[in-house]
Structure 1
Amino acid sequence: MTEPITYLFVPGDRPDRFGKALTSGADRIIIDLEDSVLADHKMAARDAIAAAALDWQNVIVRINPVDTVHFEFDMSLLRSVPVRMVMLPKTESSDMISRVNRSLDKKCAMLPQIETVKSLFALQDILHADRVDRVAFGHLDFALDLGSSTDKDSLLYARSQIVHHSRYAEKPAPIDSVTAEFRDTDTVSAEAKAAKNLGFGGKLIIHPAQDLPVKKGFAPSPADIAWAKSVVQIIEKSGSGALAADGSMIDKPVEIRARHIIERAGKIS
């Protein structure tokens, strides 16, 4: 099964946007009860989610952190709807995930967000918690906690650790954080490509206009596809192992990479 690439945030207190989000082309939508909803709007947001006719197969709900006064109200909502996945902001331990699991009367996949330094150093604990699907990076909150810039160089270590720990835990590749700029599609695609090259498998988005640019960034380039096809063609013609083509050695890892590129190109297209 192909893992989702784009995850579109929608404020929970904007039910007029739910339907548009579901038809936007994004692989998943995240109806948010946390940062995008003011405290005095959160109850109305819960009511809107409960009343909405949603395709829950493609809907995730981001709740408020477990240590806030809003958490139990969020849990009450989730027990009343057929939610399949829950996003947990500022997850810093498996205990936080266990608390959500205990509060629900159903089995839901968990999508923890890595948004603090403590989260980063608890990655294996978080990734091995019950029902965790994959993790997502929240670079804005992470940089705030760290006291660093939000640029890619300042957060390269954190991003790399999230990718490496996810692979070690044998989880799907993690989801990269949002790109604030949505009108400049070249910037969106470039940041998506940088995330893909680092090992991320998807990206959070904040506007439907970011969906296609992100998928373009995650798709293999025409040059990559041409290279992959030439490698497979040479291998299939020769029927042997290590070969030289255009001055490059073709052995098993190269063959596997080439076939993965071709497969990914077909799925994303």
Structure 2
Amino acid sequence: MTAAPRSWLFVPADSEKKVAKALASDADAIIFDLEDSVVPAQKAAARDILKGLTASEVEGGPQWWVRVNPLGSEHLKQDLELLGRSAIHGIVLPKAEGGWDVVELAHRTGSIPIHAIVTETAASLFGLLSYRTPQSPLAAMSWGAEDLSAALGAASKHDSDGALSFTYRMARSLCLAGAVAAGVQPVDGVFTDFKDDQGLRAEAEAAAREGFTGKLAIHPAQVATINAAFTPSADAVKHAKAIVAAFAAQPDAGVLSVDGKMVDRPHLVQARSILERSK
């Protein structure tokens, strides 16, 4: 099974220079963007750039994903014509409002994995549990504050103290819970100030503590910090192995002592998750 990407790096698909830099980065996944970062007049040129990428560039490198234009867009049909290329790993669907949007897209694309961005419209906040659909090609869910704040007519997505406002914290939490309920990867949203590495590190580490297993990036400079935040530390792996070993030795136990602390079955689930991500 392919490991879930820690870093998901957006790159405007109409810039050959930026595409080349993204491919040379250490990102686990590249999202070639055909939507917001590409104006309508440049969308055809962006598709031509993606058509010109050779499949050999993906060997041993990041997963290739394409953010297509939203359902209902006049550009979507041409975007989906790119998916016949074997190097494309999956689709990123923007402005998804419910699991039914994933189903609709899957009817047109088959079993190719889908990463849905699930909090970009007002209506989307009411459908976060609907992604729990049997036999869905959904692989990941992420959240976005920029489009949501525009959709809500907000003057800012931050409180006066600079913290993210409640509405957007709620959207983030609902995305996390919705993804876990659907059994897919929860991916944290972008940190827009790509020059503030300290702020990015704090946000990424907080996301990892809460349960997210990856994060969107908008610049190659953010990749190393994100990868580090979502890679379990050596101490965390050691402790997880000890928990797994303790329960393996006493499979009927409900509570055990490991490293001087009491652990129970939820800790075993967390330990297994840490070991899976450490691979």
Same fold (TM over 0.5): yes
Q: Which amino acid aligns with 2:85?
A: V
Measured at CA, do residues 235 and 136 of structure 1 come closer, stay the same or move farther in structure 2, by a change above 3 Å? closer
Q: Is this contact kept in 1: 2:100–2:130, CA < 8 A?
A: no
CA distance in 2, matches of 1:69, 1:208: 30
Gaps of 5+ in 1: none
- Equivalence for 1:159: 172
Residue 46 (str. 1) matches residue 42 (str. 2): no
Q: Which amino acid aligns with 1:27?
A: D
CA distance in 1, matches of 2:172, 2:76: 28
The alpha-carbon deviation at position 48 of structure 1 amounts to 1.2
CA distance in 2, matches of 1:5, 1:33: 22
The alpha-carbon deviation at position 167 of structure 1 amounts to 1.9
Pick the structure with more helix per residue. 1
Q: Which amino acid aligns with 1:149?
A: K
Of residues 217, 231, 236, the one that matches 1:219 is 231
Q: How does 1:149-228 map to 2 (within 5 A)?
A: 149-150=157-158, 151-154=163-166, 155-169=168-182, 171-221=183-233, 224=236, 228=240
CA distance in 2, matches of 1:234, 1:74: 51
Measured at CA, do residues 87 and 232 of structure 1 come closer, stay the same or move farther in structure 2, by a change above 3 Å? closer
CA distance in 2, matches of 1:172, 1:239: 28
Gaps of 5+ in 2: none
Q: What SS does structure 1 have at the residue aligned with 2:139?
A: coil
CA distance in 1, matches of 2:171, 2:268: 30
Measured at CA, do residues 245 and 108 of structure 1 come closer, stay the same or move farther in structure 2, by a change above 3 Å? closer
Deviates more, 1:217-226 or 1:149-158: 217-226
Q: What SS does structure 2 have at the residue aligned with 1:9?
A: strand
Deviates more, 1:118-127 or 1:24-33: 118-127
1:75-111 residue CA offsets vs partner (Å, 9 max, x unmatched): 3x3255333311111011344334433434x531111
CA distance in 2, matches of 1:248, 1:158: 34
Q: What SS does structure 2 have at the residue aligned with 1:126?
A: coil
Cα RMSD, aligned residues only:
3.0
The alpha-carbon deviation at position 238 of structure 1 amounts to 8.9
CA distance in 2, matches of 1:84, 1:251: 38
1:61-82 residue CA offsets vs partner (Å, 9 max, x unmatched): 101112222222223x325533
Deviates more, 1:79-88 or 1:146-155: 146-155
Q: Which amino acid aligns with 2:131?
A: I
The alpha-carbon deviation at position 6 of structure 1 amounts to 0.7
Number of corresponding residues: 263
CA distance in 1, matches of 2:264, 2:19: 48
Q: Is this contact kept in 2: 1:160–1:198, CA < 8 A?
A: no
Q: What is the TM-score normalised by the length of structure 2? A: 0.80
CA distance in 2, matches of 1:63, 1:239: 47
Q: Which amino acid aligns with 1:179?
A: F
Identity among equivalent positions (%) equals 34
